[in-house]
Amino acid sequence: MRVLITGGAGFIGSHLCEAYIERGDEVFVLDDLSTGSIHNILHLKRHPRFHYTIDSVHNRAVVAELVDRCDAVFHLAAAVGVQLSVDEPVRTIETNVHGAEVVLRIANNFGKKVLLASSSDVYGKSAVIPLREDDDTVLGSTKYSRWAYACSKAIDEYLGLAYYQEHGLEVVVARFFNTVGPRQTGQYGMVLPRFVEWALKDEPLLIYGDGQQTRCFGYVGDVVEGVIALMNCREAPGRVYNIGSEEEVTIEQLADMVIEMTSSKSKKKFISYEQAFGKPSDDMRRRVPSLERIRQTVGFEPKMNLAEILTVVIQDIRGKIRAR
């Protein structure tokens, strides 16, 4: 099988590349390295079944050439992270919406199956827990650029499902819930790698708000297995699937776990969202997925619990700090 992975030099994308290479498949990557890193795929560069192109998904000619050569497309390329959506909302909206439009249109021209990466942010501030794929979304005010990312991913979903309904294009939508693991950077606001790096340096762990907001952290290896299973499933297209973990933890509890597991001297420091982002912002209190649909469809089951994930991430980041 030949797969195209847009955003393949990113955190999740690079792990997906590895998984397909290990399966004996051929992998093509398209990434402009705006948020991904060439270091994530350096170990794959010399592999005969791995090919990469440094360019943008906005380049229709390049996308068309790569889609034509492949059997299926994983569209992971996107503006990522809360920090980026707050700091650069125009870039966030344009990258996500236009990139998906280009990939879906060209995939439809060639009749190639697409897995479209979406986000749990689409649920917004919905208080119905667990969050189910067909639940209503509850987004905050447009005065908060925080929700630009959520809106852009929702539009991607609408467009992907529209191609399925109108043209019969095989499109699968995967909503990721806080995917974490080795290679993830805290540069764009991802909380777990930031906490771990601060703790290893004995620096204060900055907790936004009261720290009682909850999240569920899914291990990247589990997520990759899930999206491959969805891509291979004939019954999956035309629907949205939550993917991640159901193990709920408050952000303050996460900070406590990180401090304990790193034997850190760090202290917790609570700051307001306005202090964190330099402008008023908004957030959701709980984010817990229902995994019922993906379980029934492909038998997905997360294997790594949070303590095991933290052990792996701490080891990864500790190694990077020592290598600097």
- CATH of residue 98's domain is 3.40.50.720
Q: How many CB atoms lie within 10 A of CB 26?
A: 18
| Termini Cα distance of the chain | 38
Q: What is the pTM of this model?
A: 0.96
Is the pLDDT score of 228 beyond 80?
Answer: yes
Residue length, the chain?
Answer: 324
pLDDT higher for 93 or 134? 134
Decide if 314 is inside a domain. no
Residue by residue, DSSP assigns 81-122 as SHHHHHH-HHHHHHHHHHHHHHHHHHHHHHT-EEEEEEEGGG
Token pair of 295 as six digits:
């379980």
Calculate the CA 263 to chain-centre distance.
29
Task: Tell me whether residue 241 is one of the annotated catalytic residues.
Answer: no
Decide if 323 is inside a domain. no
Q: Which of 123, 149, 164, 219 is catalytic?
A: 149
The mean pLDDT of 196-210, rounded to a whole number, is: 97
Decide if 211 is inside a domain. no
Q: Rounded to an integer, what distance in angstroms lies between the CA atom of residue 139 and that of residue 136?
A: 10
Cβ contacts of 296 within 8 Å, gap of 6 or more: none
Is the pLDDT score of 89 beyond 90?
Answer: no
* pLDDT tens digits, 11-68: 999 999 999 999 999 999 999 998 899 999 999 999 999 999 999 999 999 999 999 9
Decide if 311 is inside a domain. no
One-letter amino acid at 34 equals S
Decide if 17 is inside a domain. yes
Token pair of 315 as six digits:
């080891």
Q: Rounded to an integer, what distance in angstroms lies between the CA atom of residue 297 and that of residue 234?
A: 10
Is the pLDDT score of 87 beyond 80?
Answer: no
SS3 state of residue 319: helix
Three-state helix/strand/coil letters over 141-161:
CCCCHHHHHHHHHHHHHHHHH
SS3 state of residue 258: helix
Characterize 239-267 residue by residue with b for buried, 16 or more Cβ atoms within 10 angstroms of its Cβ, and e for exposed.
bbbbbbbebbbbbbebbebbbeebebebe
Residues of the domain holding 294: 2-179+219-246+288-303
One-letter amino acid at 138 equals V
Token pair of 38 as six digits:
């060439």
The total number of structural domains that make up the chain: 1
Q: Rounded to an integer, what distance in angstroms lies between the CA atom of residue 41 and that of residue 229?
A: 23
Decide if 252 is inside a domain. no
Q: Rounded to an integer, what distance in angstroms lies between the CA atom of residue 102 and that of residue 125?
A: 29
Decide if 113 is inside a domain. yes
The mean pLDDT of 222-246, rounded to a whole number, is: 98
Residue pair 250/213 in contact (Cβ under 8 Å)? The answer is yes
Q: For residue 319, which of 189, 183, 218 has the smallest C-alpha distance?
A: 183
Name the band, by pLDDT with cuts 50, 70 and 90, for residue 145. Answer: confident
* pLDDT tens digits, 258-292: 999 999 999 999 999 889 888 878 889 999 999 99
Residue pair 205/198 in contact (Cβ under 8 Å)? The answer is yes
Decide if 188 is inside a domain. no
